[in-house]
């Protein structure tokens, strides 16, 4: 390498570093050089480096530990050769590479500081747990404890009824109706089936009665057969008699219990009881009734009952009469991503996400709050992988919104289906419904997840936020390795909603501004108070309690690349 070439490479590297804003003030750099040189003199070789929590993976541990020392050695040798003579080529090489490694070490030091800030913020907000809107109660383990009202929902394996109990009052902050949230600002009357029930204040609970066909009538058999429904159950949902309740579950192990989250349904009570003749039963689901209630029925005498909060409507019903504005639509999409990320962190895949399985209510300022429900098809496995040895293995519900890697899986020995990003893909399809367009995987467009091409996806409305279009495009990638995870997708929306000004000044390689913004955001959320129950406050608290620097920088990188000149990323 010639002297000219070596100096040119060094100057080029220096200009790049200055452009990225990595260099520290000259005084700090000089002090660092001196400190590193003294640290690695022969008398100090036995000193051990301070323990750090760097960003690089574990396999680069040697590089993390030795990079600082290598930079100092090269810098010291360069200065020594500069003072004591030596060929120009050697001096240039030592100075160029020593300075380069020193600058890299400064960037790693900044990353370590920002990662430590993220951990401290995360620890602070994780101490504050989500509080249920239902006050604690000790009763309600029998069907006779509840007053059952009219039917408010029906699926393919259960019916839902409104209910009330004197021992279970709610803290209800919602005050808006579908009619009040009409996007045109007019009080147009919604169809009767889509109005918020006026009796909800009298019936704050909902009782879900499972249809028991073929599971047997013993409590143990019922709980074993329907164990997935217990995934979102409260720790006190099941009454423990004669010791612990033991379940085997559909997948051979006790199902995980998802911890409380504002965007995941909570089951407050679960118990077995004899099937009663409830309103509309003979007309709506006669085949699910037992013989004592219907001579042609195929159901068993006992079944599982689940007690939950009574929500006004489903997401599908809401979107039939209302189109949320762009900010509310972004927060609705963000809530679904936060709920799925919460489940993924606990190794739970829903596997049946659709607008019918998302319940909706309104917070104190009229913003829709979404809650994921109906866990009858969920998978609860450590690595979110399911052995697909034969075609009889259940891949999940709703074939139309089944992720490509699930829909195209071919059964065979050793084949496994990875569900880690399947729910995130389904959220990408629901985004079309939230922003006022038909789901492209339903009729009439009817794209098929097993065969569609990304170029076939329709465009979201031109007025929809650019960041939403970016997220939807990346969520609907066929290759799961190139698809955004629910956490990174949520971070993209968080940054676009709360950190737009910071993002406009953020450099791709710098993290200092990001750390400053996180500290300011944390202070704002704390000053606003933890008791706020509005959706915006809940989203910000959830974001700060799940901070991870690598995932945050990945999200920022997508946003920065989308604002730079290049190919369009809109859907």
Q: Which residues belong to the active site?
A: 352
Numbers of helices and strands, H then E, in the chain? 16, 12
Dihedral sign (CA 427, 155, 249, 145): positive
Q: 162 is written with which tokens?
A: 């409104």
d(CA 112, CA 36): 18
Judge whether 145 and 165 are in contact, CB under 8 Å: yes
Q: Which residue has the tokens 């799961």?
A: 480
Calculate the CA 246 to chain-centre distance: 30
Q: For residue 501, what is the DSSP state?
A: H
**Ordered strands of the 358-362 beta sheet:** 313-314, 358-362, 368-372
The pairing of strands 416-418 and 158-164 is unpaired
Let me know: does 148 contact 207? Beta carbons within 8 Å. Answer: yes
Helix axes 3-20, 88-126, angle to 10 degrees: 20
Closest CA to 103 of 17, 19, 15: 17
172: nearest Cα among 147, 203, 195, 204: 204
Distance CA 19, CA 104 (A): 14
215 and 158 Cβ atoms separated by less than 8 Å: no
Q: Report which of 407, 567, 431, 533 is spatially closest to residue 489, judged by C-alpha positions.
A: 431
Question: Which candidate, 363, 331, 361, 347, places its Cα nearest to that of 490?
Answer: 331
Long-range contacts of 460-465 (CB under 8 A, 24+ apart): 460/431, 460/432, 460/435, 460/570, 460/571, 461/435, 461/436, 461/437, 463/326, 464/326, 464/329, 464/435, 465/326, 465/330, 465/496
What DSSP state is assigned to residue 233? B
């Amino acid at each position: 390498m010639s002297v000219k070439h070596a100096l040119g490479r060094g100057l080029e590297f220096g200009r790049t570093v200055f452009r990225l804003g990595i260099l520290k003030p000259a005084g700090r750099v000089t002090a660092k050089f001196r400190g590193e040189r003294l640290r690695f003199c022969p008398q100090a070789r036995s000193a051990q480096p301070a323990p750090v929590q760097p960003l690089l993976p574990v396999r680069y541990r040697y590089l993390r530990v030795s990079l600082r020392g290598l930079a100092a050695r090269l810098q010291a040798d360069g200065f020594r050769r500069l003072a004591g003579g030596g060929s120009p080529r050697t001096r240039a090489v030592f100075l160029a590479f020593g300075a380069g490694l020193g600058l890299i070490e400064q960037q790693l030091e900044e990353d370590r500081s920002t990662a430590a800030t993220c951990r401290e913020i995360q620890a602070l907000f994780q101490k504050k747990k989500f509080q249920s809107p239902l006050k604690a109660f000790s009763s309600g383990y029998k069907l006779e404890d509840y007053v059952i009202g009219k039917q408010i929902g029906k699926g393919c394996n259960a019916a839902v009824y409104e209910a009330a109990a004197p021992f279970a009052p709610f803290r209800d902050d919602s005050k808006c109706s579908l009619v009040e949230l009409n996007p045109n600002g007019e009080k147009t009357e919604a169809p009767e089936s889509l109005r918020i029930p006026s009796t909800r204040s009298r019936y704050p609970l909902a009782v879900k009665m499972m249809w028991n066909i073929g599971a047997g009538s013993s409590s143990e058999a019922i709980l074993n057969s329907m164990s997935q429904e217990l995934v979102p159950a409260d720790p006190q949902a099941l009454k423990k008699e004669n010791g612990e309740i033991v379940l085997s579950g559909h997948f051979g192990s006790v199902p995980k219990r998802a911890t409380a989250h504002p965007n995941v349904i909570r089951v407050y009570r679960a118990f077995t009881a004899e099937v009663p003749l409830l309103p509309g039963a003979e007309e709506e689901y006669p085949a699910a009734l037992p013989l004592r209630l219907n001579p042609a029925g195929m159901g068993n005498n006992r079944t599982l009952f689940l007690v939950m909060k009574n929500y006004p409507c489903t997401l599908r019903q809401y979107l039939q009469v209302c189109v949320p504005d762009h900010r509310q639509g972004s927060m609705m999409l963000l809530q679904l991503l936060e709920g799925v990320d919460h489940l993924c962190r606990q190794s739970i895949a829903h596997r049946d996400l659709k607008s019918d399985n998302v319940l909706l209510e309104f917070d104190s300022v009229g913003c829709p709050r979404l809650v994921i429900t109906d866990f009858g098809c969920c998978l609860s496995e450590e690595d979110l992988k399911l052995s697909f040895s034969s075609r009889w293995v259940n891949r999940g519900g709703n074939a139309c919104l089944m992720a490509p890697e699930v829909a195209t899986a071919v059964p065979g020995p050793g084949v496994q289906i990875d569900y880690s990003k399947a729910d995130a893909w389904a959220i990408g399809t629901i985004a079309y419904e939230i922003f006022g367009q038909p789901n492209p995987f339903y009729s009439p467009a009817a794209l098929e997840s097993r065969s569609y091409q990304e170029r076939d996806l329709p465009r979201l409305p031109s007025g929809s936020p650019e960041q939403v279009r970016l997220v939807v495009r990346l969520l609907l990638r066929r290759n799961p390795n190139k698809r955004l995870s629910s956490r990174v997708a949520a971070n993209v929306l968080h940054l676009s909603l709360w950190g737009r000004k910071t993002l406009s000044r953020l450099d791709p390689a710098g993290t200092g501004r990001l750390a400053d913004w996180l500290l300011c955001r944390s202070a704002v959320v704390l000053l606003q108070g933890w008791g706020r129950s509005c959706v915006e406050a809940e989203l910000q608290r959830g974001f700060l309690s799940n901070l991870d620097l690598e995932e945050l920088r990945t999200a920022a990188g997508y946003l920065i690349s989308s604002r730079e000149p290049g190919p369009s990323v809109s859907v």
